[in-house]
Amino acid sequence: MPKTTATQQSKPSGGKYDEGTNYVAGGVEANSLLFALLVAAPVLSLLLAFVTSEEMAEQYPGLATEPITGMLAGCVKDPVGCGSTILDVVLSVRPTTDGALFIAAFMGVALLLERLLPGKVDYGPETLTGHIPEYVDNGLLHCVVYSLLFWAGSNIGLLGLYDFGILFDQFVGSVAFLNIFGVVFCVFLTLKGLYFPSTDDSGSSGSWVKDFLWGTELYPRVFGLDLKRFINCRFSMTFWQLSGLSFCYRSWTLHGEQIDWGLLFAAISLYIYLVKFFIWEMGYMRSIDIIVDRAGFEIQWGCLVWVPAVYTFHMRFLVMNPSGLSFEVAFALFCVSVAAVILNYLADRERLVFRATNGRAKICGKPPKFIKAEYMVLDRATGKRTAKTSLLLASGYWGVARHFQYFFELVAAWTWCLLANPMANGTLTCFYAIFLTYLLIDRANRDSRKCRLKYGKYYDEYCKLVPYKIVPGIY
């Protein structure tokens, strides 16, 4: 079958999500907790931005470090006053011109690099409609060049166009702007998927609410730009990666040029983790976020707003509330986090090599165990079904648990939050790790449902070989 790329326009299906798509039941009707979080997320992102701001430190000194004995206890004692305060806070977090210009410039540089940086052409997995997405594999080059440009343009670099702490300084106004931009962008994506889809992996669920939240298109492109990769990787991951370094610099200037070892080691570990991500970017383009989740509010607004607001929270918190950790304690936690990042990378790489060699590469010096699974591809134009095969690895890391890489990712996340010293700074600093734990458990469950629908009896065989999802012997 010839390769079809997202740059080629396909006829809109006009139909509901059906067997000819990569859609897997989930989201609104299958997970009420996730739906509630989606509804509350815009307000919660603004609250989290305010909690880590200078305004919070000035107006409510010390309260950020007391989420249970201070915030929660106060709300229980005076729910009306608490609600009024929360409303006032949310309304005070407004877009700023500087914040909007910063986001526009940040995205503009990412877009320029997306167009100019070279790389070999690589492909994502074929969808059930026969579409094969095409990408230029230049994630690591993007990571290196963008980091150098961010440093060079700052006051500690060559040009002095802005302060290196700009991500902290403009954070509140930027998140408020991204909130509005994200909603408008998702409306655009919904309509595009319904009326101008890039591929046949598109269509309506029959519900406008679900179409907006889940999305109507799997691989949207505009003028050849893959919107999913640009938002999820080139904006979201780059913002997350550079934020820790920027926050370190702002903490250093605010606290008499004193190093916060907890913040510094969390930022360095995170930077290493995201270098690993960009090395592995093509692996991400074959993950459930890309090949199953459509480009809707849940994923695209999440990467535009939720990632900056939540994934950076524990580091941003430390700018106004230093960790107080000693070098020795912080360094020990750093070593644990880096070990987890390395193991996470090795697990992902093991599967990539296995797939690239079509199962011929040895694992731990032995031929790998795997299931050769068949699945069907539907040609919507002709109605013809074609049998395809995939190899399901059951050796090495992937023989321990079906998503053992998630275990290492969670170890790293919890270590980063521990570097924020929750014993002194309160449990709110663990918000990211708690959220990620829930997210990865849900993702593992959805991936199991997707694979069972796709591979049927072959996946049941695989689960017998690898019975645990994330933690061997436990889950």
Reference 401, options 355, 447, 454; nearest CA is 447
Q: Which residues face 74 on adjacent strands? A: none
Give me the pLDDT at residue 32, please: 64
| Residue 378 pLDDT exceeds 90 | no
Write down the domain spans for the chain: 32-465
Work out whether the CA dihedral 343, 344, 346, 347 comes out positive or negative.
positive
As a residue count, the chain comes to 475
The residues near 413 (Cβ < 8 Å, ≥ 6 apart) are 432, 433, 436, 437
At 31, is the pLDDT very low, low, confident or very high (cuts 50, 70, 90)? low
CA dihedral 269, 275, 277, 280 (to 10 degrees): -140
Q: How far apart are the first and last CA of the chain?
A: 39
Residue where the block lists tokens 């080691």? 265
User: Using one digit for the tens of pLDDT, what is the confidence trace for 331-345?
Assistant: 999 999 999 999 999
At 30, is the pLDDT very low, low, confident or very high (cuts 50, 70, 90)? low
Distance between CA atoms of 466 and 459, rounded to whole angstroms? 10
Distance between CA atoms of 273 and 337, rounded to whole angstroms? 9
| Residue 311 pLDDT exceeds 70 | yes
At 275, is the pLDDT very low, low, confident or very high (cuts 50, 70, 90)? very high
User: Using one digit for the tens of pLDDT, what is the confidence trace for 425-450?
Assistant: 999 999 999 999 998 998 888 888 88
Among 176-190, 315-329, 332-346, 355-369, which stretch is predicted with the lowest mean pLDDT?
355-369
Give me the pLDDT at residue 386, please: 81
Cβ atoms within 10 Å, residue 397: 22
Among 45-54, 124-133, 137-146, which stretch is predicted with the lowest mean pLDDT?
124-133
Distance between CA atoms of 205 and 10, rounded to whole angstroms? 19
User: Using one digit for the tens of pLDDT, what is the confidence trace for 45-80?
Assistant: 999 999 999 999 999 999 999 998 888 898 999 999
CB 267 within 8 A of CB 152: no
Reference 143, options 235, 238, 227; nearest CA is 238
Among 34-48, 108-122, 303-317, which stretch is predicted with the lowest mean pLDDT?
34-48
Name the DSSP letter for residue 126: P
Reference 3, options 138, 121, 139; nearest CA is 121
Among 128-132, 429-433, 457-461, which stretch is predicted with the lowest mean pLDDT?
128-132
CB 324 within 8 A of CB 331: no
Q: Hey, is 219 helix, strand or coil?
A: coil
Distance between CA atoms of 154 and 241, rounded to whole angstroms? 16
Cβ atoms within 10 Å, residue 460: 12
CB 371 within 8 A of CB 391: yes
Distance between CA atoms of 152 and 146, rounded to whole angstroms? 10
Which tokens in the block code for residue 100? 């909007």
The residues near 59 (Cβ < 8 Å, ≥ 6 apart) are none
**Alpha helices of 401-456 — where are they, by DSSP H?**
404-418, 422-425, 431-455
Give me the pLDDT at residue 281, please: 93
Residue ranges with strand state E in 175-240: 221-222, 225-226
| Residue 28 pLDDT exceeds 60 | no
Residue ranges with strand state E in 299-393: 370-378, 385-393
